[in-house]
Amino acid sequence: MIPLHDDNPTERFPFVTIIFIAVCVSVFLYQESLPQNPGQAFVFHYGAIPAIVFGHAAFPEDTAVAIPASLTLLTSMFLHGGWMHLLGNMLYLWIFGNNIEDAMGHAKYIVFYILCGVLAALAHAMTDPSSQIPMVGASGAISAVLGAYLLLFPRAHVLVLLPALGMTRVAAGVVLGMWFVTQLVSGGMSVGAQGGGVAFFAHIGGFVAGMALIGLFKRPDVPFFSPGHSRRWDR
């Protein structure tokens, strides 16, 4: 199930969401422009490596480290592991992020996004504190956006693409609920797995953080479980 659009227009222009997307795309294009070895070094320096974040390991003494390890919990949000990783994340951020930015206001949305992204990275890191594999991607912060959207607009409709079935409209609560269940199942199956892969526990941690914090960040006039601002789609 691939979301394509929602029927929940906003009142405010989502310039923060657009800036986040632009930064992620720009950083990825810079990553892609680097030769192989400098590109790998860039990911290891700015990705979040659990063992280094928690002090269980360190870069070799002859390695130039650009920033403190704790800051990689922030910088890792703007790196991505490939085109599909980037495009998938930016699609979800564009569809759901504008409404959460609208529900909070621009400044609170920035704080919410970054705070939840850091919490999501920590959730992943704590599942394997000795891991020396860098975690990259905006999906932890975006998962928080999805969790917030689920509580604010579960009755809004999302246009989705179903493989072999085509496009249809589904309630956001169904789309996001199924997505979260998938992360829970996949995360459980990934426990004990060796090597890199999808950071399911960053998704789970971000989603839970978004649900837990949305009440503190939304505007007082924005209710929970709103039907959204419905509009018609022409076929």
Residue range 187-213, pLDDT digits in tens: 888 776 665 578 889 999 999 999 999
- pLDDT value for 234: 42
Q: What is the pLDDT of residues 101-121, one digit of tens each?
A: 999 999 999 999 999 999 999
Strand-pair partners of 161: 2, 167
Q: What is the pLDDT of residues 162-171, one digit of tens each?
A: 887 889 999 9
Which carries the bigger pLDDT value, residue 119 or residue 127?
A: 119
pLDDT band at 235 (very low <50, low <70, confident <90, very high): very low
pLDDT band at 60 (very low <50, low <70, confident <90, very high): low
The phi, psi pair for 31, rounded to 5°, reads -55, -45
Supply the mean pLDDT for the chain: 90
Question: Of 80, 53, 54, 74, nearest to 117 (Cα)?
Answer: 74
Residue with tokens 């529900």: 103
Which stretches of 8-119 are assigned E, i.e. beta strand? none
pLDDT band at 223 (very low <50, low <70, confident <90, very high): very high
User: Does 2-217 carry CATH code 1.20.1540.10?
Assistant: yes
Domain boundaries, the chain: 2-217
pLDDT at 79 over 90: yes
What's the whole-model pTM score? 0.91
Give the pLDDT mean for 73-77: 95
Give the pLDDT mean for 149-173: 92
pLDDT at 48 over 60: yes
Residue with tokens 């951020």: 93
Strand-pair partners of 48: 135
Question: Of 177, 28, 14, 170, nearest to 96 (Cα)?
Answer: 14
Contact partners, residue 67, CB within 8 Å, separation at least 6? 45, 46, 75
Q: Which two tokens stand for residue 109?
A: 């949305």
- pLDDT value for 63: 59
Q: What percent of the chain has pLDDT over 90?
A: 71
- pLDDT value for 66: 67
Decide: 140 and 117 in contact? Cβ < 8 Å: yes
- pLDDT value for 51: 92
